Homo-oligomer: A and B are copies of this chain.
């Protein structure tokens, strides 16, 4: 049978049933939005007319224009839509966002697009009261687009130096420092870093110059945190390999190959995301290296998967869900000054880190 929603077309508006019921459109509107102020007899007549004509209730499109508020927040990313359901970090974040939205009755609109033009259009035409912007790759462009909409928006996990952007994030330098400190305390002296992207579309060992020109301040800050802590115990940080990955399996494995091709391989790996760290765990195990006896690994993020890996991953946990909740609140109550917030991170020690051999 056909989609059964369509008699033919549906040009049946509130005005139509008002006419059919012999009342003004004002009254007809009241029947639906404030039935208590309409006389019962009239109310029933209008409802009967609506029923008879197959009226589906006041069209939100019309209401919206008058009301002004959509009661939904947009969550935007430059990744494909499925990112929200696949990526562990995104999922925890979305859970936090969901919770805050549920509490206030707001809806969630997922906004994304593969190509840039589509993305621009989608952001420009999203029916939302504000945006939460997921800043992964292409973050700055997203922020730019969101800002153009002149709607409240909050950037998540972005450490742009642009102070005019409201952002919720963590202290990457301090967090990375905690990770490095944990490993130096255990006695490690030979390190390698598996980094998130410093710039778009590039992977491989990075030079100091490339770090200086990083597009992604968050990545740079984490590296700063690592290296600062390492130099405190006298390690020559110029000898620490920093391999830039795309936060995916392939580039991470390539990085590990590179790093372990050295004749003085590291005893400890600092991974800038749990995702990278988990790939490393797998790669090391396949390679026959024991974690943590041969190599220690410390991640960053604190996604749930990190707790159940083999071995469980030591990591710097961000309050991911809380960040999501805060972002929603910042948008819905976007009257007061929201500005940038930094939430605390926490070192969670699990099985993937231990003293170096010997």
Residues of A within 8 A of B (CB): 1-6, 10, 54-58, 60-65, 68, 70-72, 80-82, 84-86, 91, 94-95, 98-99, 101-102, 105, 107-114, 118, 121-122, 124-127, 148-153, 163-164, 166, 330, 334-339
Closest partner residue, chain B, to A56 (CB atom): B150
Interface centre among A4, A64, A113, A124 (most CB of B within 10 A): A4
CB distance from A9 to the nearest CB of B (A): 11
Q: A4-B164, A62-B65 are in contact. Are A105 and B113 (CB under 8 A)?
A: yes
With A3-B166, A72-B109 given, name 17 new contacts (CB 8 A): A1-B337, A3-B152, A4-B164, A4-B166, A5-B152, A6-B152, A6-B334, A54-B150, A56-B151, A61-B64, A62-B65, A82-B95, A82-B99, A84-B85, A85-B85, A105-B122, A127-B127
* B85-A107 in contact (CB<8A): no
Bound Cα distance A101, B84 (Å): 13
* B110-A108 in contact (CB<8A): yes
* A61-B127 in contact (CB<8A): yes
Closest partner residue, chain B, to A334 (CB atom): B3
A337 interface neighbour in B2, B10, B65, B148, Cβ under 8 Å: B2
Bound Cα distance A163, B108 (Å): 31
The 5 tightest CB contacts between A and B, nearest first, are A56-B150, A81-B98, A82-B98, A3-B334, A108-B110
Complex contacts, A152 vs chain B, CB 8 Å: 3, 5-6
* B102-A80 in contact (CB<8A): yes
* A148-B57 in contact (CB<8A): yes
Bound Cα distance A336, B85 (Å): 30
Q: A98-B85, A125-B63 are in contact. Are A5 and B334 (CB under 8 A)?
A: yes
Copies in the complex: 2
Closest partner residue, chain B, to A92 (CB atom): B85
Bound Cα distance A111, B71 (Å): 11
* A5-B150 in contact (CB<8A): yes
Complex contacts, A163 vs chain B, CB 8 Å: 1
Bound Cα distance A84, B81 (Å): 13
Complex contacts, A113 vs chain B, CB 8 Å: 102, 105
Complex contacts, A62 vs chain B, CB 8 Å: 65
Bound Cα distance A89, B163 (Å): 41
Bound Cα distance A42, B282 (Å): 61
Bound Cα distance A183, B148 (Å): 60
Bound Cα distance A175, B75 (Å): 38
A1 interface neighbour in B58, B85, B151, B164, Cβ under 8 Å: B164
Q: A61-B127, A114-B102, A149-B56 are in contact. Are A339 and B109 (CB under 8 A)?
A: no
CB distance from A263 to the nearest CB of B (A): 36
CB distance from A241 to the nearest CB of B (A): 31
